[in-house]
Structure 1
Amino acid sequence: MTRPNILILMVDQLNGTLFPDGPADWLHAPNLKRLAARSTRFANAYTASPLCAPGRASFMSGQLPSRTGVYDNAAEFRSDIPTYAHHLRRAGYYTCLSGKMHFVGPDQLHGFEERLTTDIYPADFGWTPDYRKPGERIDWWYHNMGSVTGAGVAEITNQMEYDDEVAYHAKAKLYDLARGKDDRPWCVTVSFTHPHDPYVARRKYWDLYEDCEHLLPQVGDLGYDNHDPHAKRIFDANDWRNFDITEEDIRKSRRAYFANISYLDDKLGEILEVLETTRQEAIILFVSDHGDMLGERGLWFKMNFYEGSARVPLMVAAPGMEPGRIDTPVSTIDVTPTLGELAGVDMAEIAPWTDGTSLVSLANGTERTAPVLMEYAAEASYAPLVSMRYGKWKYNRCALDPDQLFDLDADPHEMTNLADHPDHQGTVQSLRAKSQARWDLDRFDAEVRASQARRWVVYEALRQGGYYPWDYQPLQKASERYMRNHMNLDNLEESQRFPRGE
């Protein structure tokens, strides 16, 4: 059979509420809007865990953090966990990554045959939280509100430098694939770090939002004492007391965030143009690892189950998937089985290794009633939190906190917790039973604590004496690039040209 090429476009910390049906009308994102018009658009897609490394490991494997063991941004992603890159490569695909995937541990490929860049974040255990010390801030790596108070304009940053490189290598690889030296189908994953904070943007994109009407959140700061217990823990982890956040800070942060969506749109447009001009056909999937609260309720970044943090954009342009909007809740863990089905991989080979379900039939009208599951056991938590999105309901549970129940149809901003409301006790009891059947929170907590304790020992040991980091070092074979003396010049010029000459 002929297997389709696959292009995965991933971004970081993009709030899914800004993609109610593709990009919101007021966003300057023409390339994403064109992609949306030919895609199945999942309006209620959720991350498996609202933090980078756990969310990405779940996205790649189709498994929740409680199965992968990737609980936080310093937890090892084990080499024996199959990913979509493994499944596709096993089926004969060339698999390649340009950009971020926040792999922690000595395996920095996880099924990718080639990786074109290093990662933007460290690959070791240095960012490990410690449940034995609740409330302790680790100043040198915990988020603080400096990303908000420092928002503004710059022409180059660490993040821009990285994403410029990611796009450059992705385009070069697509040009190379067009030359036809490898007859295998390909799966290329291009993964950017924007619009993740810091909230700093180039002037050309900043200026697009000068008159934007969305520079203030719809729900302002509720005040520390009016937040739920986990939100208070996030405020404390973000060191909020040492920052004076003004309305102008909020406006500038959101403006830069929107500007960076437009920056990404340009990058994605460049990549899609290469695909078009080289006449390569491919399935295209666009997704984020998690969202960003963007000041809603006074919260920033992620680390919670509120819509701004947990909901992500997810769009798939593929033969056999009807373009249009799907409102049924889905998860990023559904991506791996979806890619498998689209690629013609035997789903029995994937099913044992995933918690997800293929989205292909859902795109064509099949109903789905299974709940969407989320977990969080990382920074700002003192014990694991779990969540279910079941129809219009979202039910959150943590051993340390009161239950939460939200009716997202009637209360999209999650302002009213119905868990103690007498009219909803049947719903609470039903969802609590489903949650308890799925999660043993005491066991989950014990496993997280054991993992953290092991990593603290190993990290401190490995930083003594000679240090050999796991950060990925991209391979460059200079003797095989451009023109070298073991190559025939005429053959080289012909083979490197696309389209071929007369």
Structure 2
Amino acid sequence: MTAPNILIVMVDQLNGTLFPDGPADFLHAPNLKKLAARSTRFKNAYTASPLCAPGRASFMSGQLPSRTGVYDNAAEFRSDIPTYAHHLRRAGYYTCLSGKMHFVGPDQMHGFEDRLTTDIYPADFGWTPDYRKPGERIDWWYHNMGSVTGAGIAEISNQMEYDDEVAYHAKAKLYDLARGKDDRPWALTVSFTHPHDPYVARRKYWDLYEDCEHLLPEVPAMDYADHDNHSKRIFDANDWRSFDISEEDIKRSRRAYFANISYLDDKIGEILEVLETTRQEAIILFVSDHGDMLGERGLWFKMSFYEGSSRVPLMISAPNLPAGLIETPVSTLDVTPTLGALAGVDMAEIEPWTDGQNLLPLAMGTERTEPVAVEYAAEASYAPLVSLRYGKWKYNRCALDPDQLFDLEADPQELNNLAGDPAHAGPLQTLRAKSEARWDLDRFDAEVRASQARRWVVYEALRQGGYYPWDYQPLQKASERYMRNHMDLNDVEDGNRFPRGE
């Protein structure tokens, strides 16, 4: 049996609550809705960490940040950690990446045989937080609320330029694969940076949401004093006191965000059209690295365990998987073992390297009872935070803060912390025991602090004198493209045509 081709489509900062069963009805996303209709859809999928680099390293490896050491957006993703690209390549796949994966460190491939674009973010240690200086804002790279007050229309931006390029190279690669010059199965990862802020969008997509009824959050902004401790730290990290956020700012930001979902839908539709017109069949997995709070309770961006930040869309379209909705909580950690199972890789070679689980049994009706784990140890935290989603419960723990316990069925907006309610002492005790069995928070904190301290020394040293960046430099072999004099023109014209002429 021939191993199936696999297309992994990743987007950035897409709020999973907008995908209760595929894209919400109000979203103009016909291509994603069409894909959802033929996919197994996971309603309650969670990132392993609500921040780009740690979430992506965990997605690729199936390991939590406490195992990978990728705690934040400037922590090295070590070369000796197997990823799904390694597992698939080892099994005979051609593996390729177009777009963002926020690899930090000198290894900018992590199992991919080819990489078609550079990354949109830096690959060095410059974005390292510092637990030794709680409350310090590093102005030149920390988020601030300017993304909200500056929301609106733009026909080009740094991120649009990037995602236009990502889609272009992905489509070109699919055309190239259709030509049949490589008989290996392929696994192509296409990773966009939208709808990540800043909240600016092209007018053609902006205009789709002129009469949208969802431009204000369900839970309005709260007074600073009414927030939990970690949310206060996020506000402080985002420099909220320097900005006056109006209702119009909120509407414009959410409108641009929804518009950029439609922008992505067009890009994904173009890629799927190439698959269809070149008659290539592929398993398709769609996922985000983390979510965006989008103004709920006054919070924006990510870095939080609240649903808008930590819940992500996850859909898999595969020939032998039934289309339908799965409500059992799952994780992006599950992607690597699931891809291995879909590709027919021996799972005994994957399971020792992952904290995740193969999703195929769950999709086929097998019960899953293990809790979903989430971690956060980056900017806006002063010590690691950990979370478990277990059935209807979410339990959050940090050495600096009171415990949080939410019943997500009765309280989907997470407004009622039940940790201090004697009526819920049983679930609290059960989840605290599960959390303590999984995490030694003192050890976790010490490991994060040691990593940060090392990186501050290395980064400051490497910025002195000559500097060689780790940023990926895409290879362009112009002498092997189009027609050159070491080639036969007849072969070039015939071999690069699809379908072939008679």
TM-score, normalised on structure 2? 1.00
Alignment of 1:299-310 (within 5 A): 299-310=299-310
- In the alignment, the residues of structure 2 paired with residue 118 and residue 131 of structure 1 have an alpha-carbon distance, to the nearest angstrom, of 30
- Any idea what SS the aligned residue of 1:402 has? coil
Counterpart for residue 215 of structure 2: 215
Alignment of 1:75-474 (within 5 A): 75-474=75-474
- Any idea what SS the aligned residue of 1:245 has? coil
Alignment of 1:12-27 (within 5 A): 12-27=12-27
Q: Count residues in correspondence.
A: 502
Shift in Å at residue 2 of structure 1?
1.0
- In the alignment, the residues of structure 2 paired with residue 139 and residue 222 of structure 1 have an alpha-carbon distance, to the nearest angstrom, of 25
- Any idea what SS the aligned residue of 1:78 has? coil
- Any idea what SS the aligned residue of 1:188 has? strand
- In the alignment, the residues of structure 2 paired with residue 491 and residue 117 of structure 1 have an alpha-carbon distance, to the nearest angstrom, of 28
Which amino acid in structure 2 is aligned with residue 355 of structure 1? D
Which amino acid in structure 2 is aligned with residue 120 of structure 1? I
- In the alignment, the residues of structure 2 paired with residue 214 and residue 156 of structure 1 have an alpha-carbon distance, to the nearest angstrom, of 25
Percent of aligned pairs with the same amino acid: 87
- In the alignment, the residues of structure 2 paired with residue 34 and residue 319 of structure 1 have an alpha-carbon distance, to the nearest angstrom, of 15
Over residues 210-245 of structure 1, what are the superposed CA-to-partner deviations in whole Å (9 max), with x where a residue is unaligned? 000000000011110000000000000000000000
1:480 equivalent to 2:444? Answer no
- In the alignment, the residues of structure 1 paired with residue 495 and residue 27 of structure 2 have an alpha-carbon distance, to the nearest angstrom, of 41
- In the alignment, the residues of structure 1 paired with residue 427 and residue 57 of structure 2 have an alpha-carbon distance, to the nearest angstrom, of 32
Is contact 1:320-1:360 (8 Å) kept? no
Counterpart for residue 49 of structure 1: 49
Over residues 427-463 of structure 1, what are the superposed CA-to-partner deviations in whole Å (9 max), with x where a residue is unaligned? 1111100000000000000000000000000000000
- Any idea what SS the aligned residue of 2:221 has? coil
- In the alignment, the residues of structure 2 paired with residue 426 and residue 34 of structure 1 have an alpha-carbon distance, to the nearest angstrom, of 43
Shift in Å at residue 319 of structure 1?
1.9
- In the alignment, the residues of structure 1 paired with residue 484 and residue 275 of structure 2 have an alpha-carbon distance, to the nearest angstrom, of 28
- Any idea what SS the aligned residue of 2:403 has? strand
- In the alignment, the residues of structure 2 paired with residue 185 and residue 171 of structure 1 have an alpha-carbon distance, to the nearest angstrom, of 17
Return 5+ residue gaps in structure 2 as ranges: none
Which amino acid in structure 1 is aligned with residue 21 of structure 2? D
- In the alignment, the residues of structure 1 paired with residue 403 and residue 319 of structure 2 have an alpha-carbon distance, to the nearest angstrom, of 42
Which amino acid in structure 2 is aligned with residue 386 of structure 1? V
Shift in Å at residue 321 of structure 1?
1.3
Shift in Å at residue 320 of structure 1?
1.9
Over residues 27-60 of structure 1, what are the superposed CA-to-partner deviations in whole Å (9 max), with x where a residue is unaligned? 0000000000000000000000000000000000
- In the alignment, the residues of structure 1 paired with residue 175 and residue 469 of structure 2 have an alpha-carbon distance, to the nearest angstrom, of 32
Which amino acid in structure 2 is aligned with residue 374 of structure 1? V
TM-score, normalised on structure 1? 1.00
- In the alignment, the residues of structure 1 paired with residue 460 and residue 224 of structure 2 have an alpha-carbon distance, to the nearest angstrom, of 35
- In the alignment, the residues of structure 2 paired with residue 414 and residue 18 of structure 1 have an alpha-carbon distance, to the nearest angstrom, of 16
- Any idea what SS the aligned residue of 2:378 has? coil
- Any idea what SS the aligned residue of 2:271 has? helix
Q: Provide the aligned C-alpha RMSD in A.
A: 0.3
- In the alignment, the residues of structure 2 paired with residue 160 and residue 443 of structure 1 have an alpha-carbon distance, to the nearest angstrom, of 41
- In the alignment, the residues of structure 1 paired with residue 358 and residue 320 of structure 2 have an alpha-carbon distance, to the nearest angstrom, of 13
Stretches (4+) displaced over 4 A: none
Shift in Å at residue 325 of structure 1?
0.2
Which amino acid in structure 2 is aligned with residue 93 of structure 1? Y
- In the alignment, the residues of structure 2 paired with residue 232 and residue 320 of structure 1 have an alpha-carbon distance, to the nearest angstrom, of 46
Is contact 1:218-1:296 (8 Å) kept? yes
- In the alignment, the residues of structure 2 paired with residue 333 and residue 182 of structure 1 have an alpha-carbon distance, to the nearest angstrom, of 30
- In the alignment, the residues of structure 2 paired with residue 219 and residue 156 of structure 1 have an alpha-carbon distance, to the nearest angstrom, of 32
